[in-house]
Amino acid sequence: DAGVTQSPTHLIKTRGQHVTLRCSPISGHKSVSWYQQVLGQGPQFIFQYYEKEERGRGNFPDRFSARQFPNYSSELNVNALLLGDSALYLCASSSWGATDTQYFGPGTRLTVL
């Protein structure tokens, strides 16, 4: 079975631009979470979606938004990019519930110049 897939793998943008990152979860998983991982740090939670609804949001500005589609894939959007948005953006797939395990994709490396 395919694991979590993310696209693109790398992306270079300039300040002020916007970006859309995409994620496809493991087949059968209905929940997708997004994390930001700055170089040298652990992942930081951004959003969690289940059944197309936002179920959790981390401490990120409104420039960050996301959505989940009927096929459970997801998009993360970031507007008005700042240099500090440069990071590895990780998508995690899981079934829903307190005992579920989150499986991560390879990430999208975003560089903001």
Partner 1 sequence: GENVEQHPSTLSVQEGDSAVIKCTYSDSASNYFPWYKQELGKGPQLIIDIRSNVGEKKDQRIAVTLNKTAKHFSLHITETQPEDSAVYFCAARPLKYNDYKLSFGAGTTVTVRA
Do 6 and 106 touch, CB atoms closer than 8 A? yes
Which residues make Cβ contacts (< 8 Å) with residue 38, sequence separation at least 6? 44, 86, 87, 88
Taking CB under 8 A as the rule, does residue 1 contact partner 1? no
Under the criterion CB under 8 A, does residue 94 sit at the interface with partner 1? yes
Segment contacting partner 1 by CB under 8 A, of 14-22, 42-50, 62-70, 72-80: 42-50
Looking at the DSSP bridge assignments, the partners of residue 57 are 47
> Hey, which bits of 38-84 come out as E strands?
44-50, 53-57, 64-68, 74-78
Sole binder of partner 1 in the list 76, 81, 105, 112 (CB under 8 A): 105
- 71 lies in the binding site for partner 1 (CB under 8 A): no
- Which of the ranges 13-21, 62-70, 71-79, 91-99 carries the binding residues for partner 1, by CB under 8 A? 91-99
Is residue 86 within the footprint of partner 1 (CB under 8 A)?
Answer: no
Q: Which two tokens stand for residue 107?
A: 């990430």
